[in-house]
Structure 1
Amino acid sequence: MSRLVLVVPAFPQLSETFIASKVAGLLERGWDVHVVCRDLLPENAHRFGASVQRMFAEGRVHAEPRLERTPVGALRAATAVAGAAAAAPWRTASHWRRALRAPRPGTPTSCILDSPLVRLAPSLVHFEFGTLALGRAHTLVANDMPYSLSFRGYDVNFHRLRDGAIYGDVCRGARGVHVLGEDIKRRAIARGCPPDARFAVIPPAIDVDFFCPGDEVRPVHTGTRRLRILAVGRLEWKKGYEHAIEAIRQLVARGWDVEYRIVGDGGHVVAISVAVDQAGLGDRVTLLGKLGREAVRDELRAADLFLHAAVSEGFCNAVLEAQAVGCPVVVTNADGLAENVAHGETGLVVPTYDAPALANAMEELLRDAPRRGRMGQEGRARVASNFRIERQIDRWEQFYGELGLSPLAR
């Protein structure tokens, strides 16, 4: 029997649909998959379908101990260790003994966090973000507990940049390393991952049956309404909204009658609102806040262009969703975005931090409605072919199979 345990910060997180899709896909294909996380969010399970609800019903989602320097935190840690000892006394004692035999800073903390893993006795532990493996992998190595990990963007692009190649030890002990694309692979190597590590490039995937053009013909601009430019994403600095707003201002100054609609929420909302006011675009920019999947799809279907001005991006599912519904896109070449979009075919890719280039690219497409239509069709075909969830699960099965795992049943 092969038991796969995925370690994530929270489950199921609304902003991390890719984790829920992976878990659901593997479970449906007969894998013995479990999730260990700090924050259990069963109230969100119904949003992700029957398979994620089944994870909770069958006890496949497990709480990781919260480590807090308080009496309550100490009690929780002791309870976690005691629970592991009661369920698997020999494994727990062995785990601690072997980990402490060659002590490293943070070993007791790591052993406490390992308590659910000791109870589950996994065939493989997979850290869904590289940051989660830091300071923890050495206790798994000491106990011959195999693990793999994913790099998804933030972990290699931002986390502890001053520390340089921090992922060397973690990656050397890993059975495999998953990355979203070639750009993240290069960055992982720069942060210490050995070039000869067992890499698996598995890009994100979306529900292409849900995010589809629909029966309606994409609206053609006739001059009776403003051209609609859409963005979808968290309101944070790395999404580059200020550069997008400046590009919109330049379009308006050139005489284009456009509106810019932004779907999403986050801590950068005040800064974005100030940028809108300073650009004099209060009547042309609408902050829609967080919307449900159906409403997001409706916005994508109604848009003339999708704009993503990010200055850093792992890959971006929202850009995939835009292409899947047949909406042409204008994006920057931030990190993995250039792998997401086929430049000149499904959209246009321009340099980061370059509002004039964004404005020029949008103007180029706004002038040519037939070209936008062709790009939309090409985008739909490319995403449906290359970024379908079923295909991604195939790749995950291949990756884990190469690491020696197999599903329980077919």
Structure 2
Amino acid sequence: MPRTKQKIKIGLVLSRTPNYSETFFNSKIKGLIQSGYEVTLFAQFHDPSFNLCKVVLAPKVYKDNAVLQIFAMLWGYTKLVCRCPKRLWKLMVLERKEKKGGLQIAKNMYNNAHMLTADLDWLHFGFATMAIQSEVVAEAIGAKMAVSLRGYDMDIYPKKHPGCYGLLWRKVDKVHAISKYMETRAKEEGLEEGVPVQIITPALDVQRFSNLPQNLRKEGMFLTIGRLHEIKGIDLILKALKELKEQGETFIYRVIGEGKERRVLERLIVDLGLEDEVVLKGKQTHEMIVEHLRNTEIYVQYSLSEGFCNAVLEAQAMGCLCIVSNGGALPENVLDGETGWVVPKNNPKALAGKILEISQLTKEAKAKIRKAAQKRVSNEFNLESQRKQFEAFYTN
């Protein structure tokens, strides 16, 4: 007999258990459990504070000790032979069909051992990159395979590794994209038209944001949240702010996040003479981020591309006036002229002009945009809607 909805078993694959601030995965897991599914999380690292569902850790990799790694692999193979010999053999056969070499097959057997013993209906990789070298595991254990597409998966990794998803596209049963843009990028990277794709955007606990007092908002307070990476376009924002300063505008711009571009940005801030206006706040807790949003008048996300961007959703929910670029899925997140403003990317002058234009709006005009943004987030990006969409994802 087919399993009922309450008995569907889902394995979610991530590199580590999600922390408190990673609302997308936490809300998804909570929603699935609420809908009656059995969820197991497969990860390489487990934060003891995570307790939403069962966690199965991947075999440990000893990069600096070859002897210990060999013994670990031999012991791992022995346990697999004892526990699931048929699945192990099937994995080897499937890998051979894909013309993989013996060493790669041996590595894949070891690295995927924690999933090979699982009894699942769906094996869902939380990032497309997580599925590389695990593309045949679902077939080997008799489960369907799903994969989620996010910004890094489609905008960064394939550029360095062309054709990396060829086997994944042939093996995947269903694709989850966090935006229409992600679906388009996947098809540009070779995903065939016949593969089912469902778009499920990030979502928020809307009540949590809307119930917070927002009377701390100050004019001239600007904010961006994101890792310090060139794709985030923070250097372009700084150049736009230089234009504003030269026009006599006063402001404070805070950037929350860390990354490899920090020193580059620090030098640029000095070169542009923005030391008094720009503060790189580094990594912040979610509570601190919310506090910054409460103080912010204009939130700016001028990325070259975004898969969707949770931070922009939170900023809208908090009543910030949001300016985004037209990079990636940002125009799906913010509706130009209705819930915020979309500015062509790579154009600091245009960005400076838009910030100036918004700063000069009446309080009534600003309030209208804020209200429209909050209403749209509440209606279209809430957790209950997301829960129902994921329920449909695994049952339809």
Relative to the length of structure 2, the TM-score reads 0.90
1:396 paired to 2:394: no
Q: Which residue of 2 aligns with 1:347?
A: 340
Change (3 A) 1:293 1:246: same
Gaps of 5+ in 1: 46-51, 222-226, 403-410
Select 2:232's aligned residue among 239, 253, 258.
239
1:373 Cα deviation from its structure 2 partner: 1.7
Q: Distance in 2 between matches of 1:329 and 1:68?
A: 46
Q: Aligned pair count?
A: 384
Q: Which residue of 2 aligns with 1:73?
A: 69
Aligned ranges 1:323-402 → 2 under 5 Å = 323-368=316-361, 369-402=363-396
Deviations 1:184-229 (A, max 9, x none): 11110010110221000011112222222623446464xxxxx111
One-letter code aligned to 1:304: E
Q: Which residue of 1 aligns with 2:274?
A: 281
2:193 partner SS: coil
1:53 Cα deviation from its structure 2 partner: 1.7
Q: Distance in 2 between matches of 1:397 and 1:71?
A: 46
1:274 partner SS: helix
One-letter code aligned to 2:324: V
Change (3 A) 1:149 1:136: same
**Contact (CA 8 Å) 1:67, 1:77: kept in 2 or not?**
no
**Contact (CA 8 Å) 2:236, 2:347: kept in 1 or not?**
yes
Select 2:121's aligned residue among 113, 120, 123.
123
RMSD: 2.1
Aligned ranges 1:83-232 → 2 under 5 Å = 83-86=79-82, 88-96=83-91, 98-99=93-94, 102=97, 104-105=99-100, 106-141=104-139, 144-161=142-159, 163-212=161-210, 214-217=212-215, 219=217, 221=219, 227-232=220-225
**Contact (CA 8 Å) 2:88, 2:116: kept in 1 or not?**
no
1:112 Cα deviation from its structure 2 partner: 2.1
**Contact (CA 8 Å) 1:235, 1:265: kept in 2 or not?**
yes
Gaps of 5+ in 2: 1-6
1:36 paired to 2:46: no
One-letter code aligned to 1:136: S
Change (3 A) 1:311 1:14: farther
Deviations 1:335-371 (A, max 9, x none): 1111110110111101111111111111111000332
Change (3 A) 1:163 1:217: closer
Q: Distance in 1 between matches of 2:188 and 2:21?
A: 28
1:27 Cα deviation from its structure 2 partner: 1.9
1:132 Cα deviation from its structure 2 partner: 1.5
One-letter code aligned to 1:74: I
1:330 partner SS: strand
Change (3 A) 1:162 1:259: closer
Relative to the length of structure 1, the TM-score reads 0.88
1:39 Cα deviation from its structure 2 partner: 1.7
1:386 Cα deviation from its structure 2 partner: 0.8
Q: Distance in 1 between matches of 2:92 and 2:261?
A: 47
| Aligned residues with identical type, % of pairs | 27
Q: Distance in 2 between matches of 1:126 and 1:320?
A: 25
2:51 partner SS: helix
One-letter code aligned to 1:395: Q
Q: Distance in 2 between matches of 1:376 and 1:80?
A: 56
**Contact (CA 8 Å) 1:98, 1:143: kept in 2 or not?**
no
**Contact (CA 8 Å) 1:84, 1:116: kept in 2 or not?**
no
1:63 paired to 2:57: yes
1:36 Cα deviation from its structure 2 partner: 0.6
Q: Distance in 2 between matches of 1:241 and 1:361?
A: 16
2:212 partner SS: coil
**Contact (CA 8 Å) 2:95, 2:136: kept in 1 or not?**
no
Change (3 A) 1:2 1:374: same
